[in-house]
């Protein structure tokens, strides 16, 4: 069954002119960090398409590099069709992704913006106080319900 879907995916992506990639950590349950590598392209109808190429447990720079490199090879990604790999700005992601030859690694603008907004908002004492009061109130009502 797996080979059937893989063959269909190969057929689909073979028509694409170029690709971009995203890689990110998933939710950390039970102290395990899930990482995925996804492929993105625009098809002949100018419709955005995506495909998860791999998901694995890893968080070290070396393992990220090796898994991404294997995935690119397993899916026969040609360098001239690969544009960017977008990641968060974590050091392990930056170092593991920047080592890949032929693919430019860039940090996600939205992720940076979220960090700036988060740090700016939560650094304000009045916001911290309001959140603390709100949490206490919600906790109170959750326990009495």
Q: How far is CA 20 from CA 28, 46, 48, 99, in A?
A: 25, 15, 11, 16
Asked whether residue 89 falls in the same domain as residue 114, the answer is: no
Asked whether residue 117 falls in the same domain as residue 83, the answer is: no
Q: In the prediction, which pLDDT does 42 show?
A: 92
- Per-residue pLDDT tens listing for the chain (145 residues): 678 888 888 888 888 888 898 888 765 555 667 788 899 999 888 999 999 998 887 677 788 888 888 888 888 888 888 888 888 877 777 777 777 767 777 888 888 888 888 888 888 889 889 888 999 999 888 876 5
Count of structural domains, the chain: 2
Q: Which domain holds residue 70?
A: 2-107
Asked whether residue 62 falls in the same domain as residue 103, the answer is: yes
Asked whether residue 12 falls in the same domain as residue 48, the answer is: yes
In this structure, what CATH number is given to the domain that contains residue 69? 3.30.420
Q: How far is CA 38 from the centre of its chain?
A: 7
Q: In the prediction, which pLDDT does 121 show?
A: 85
Asked whether residue 52 falls in the same domain as residue 103, the answer is: yes
């Amino acid at each position: 069954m797996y080979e059937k879907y893989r063959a269909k995916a190969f057929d689909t992506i073979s028509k694409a002119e170029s690709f971009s990639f995203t890689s990110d950590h998933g939710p950390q349950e039970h102290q395990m960090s899930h990482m995925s590598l996804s492929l993105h392209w625009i098809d002949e109808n100018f419709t955005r398409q995506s495909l998860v190429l791999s998901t694995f447990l890893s968080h070290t720079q070396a393992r990220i590099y090796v898994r991404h490199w294997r995935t690119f090879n397993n899916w026969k990604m040609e360098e001239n069709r690969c544009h960017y790999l977008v990641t968060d700005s974590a050091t392990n992601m930056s170092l593991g992704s920047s080592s890949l030859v032929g693919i430019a690694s860039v940090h996600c603008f939205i992720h940076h913006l979220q960090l700036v907004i988060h740090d700016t908002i939560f650094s304000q004492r009045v916001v911290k106080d309001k959140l603390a009061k709100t949490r206490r109130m919600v906790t109170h009502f959750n326990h009495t319900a």
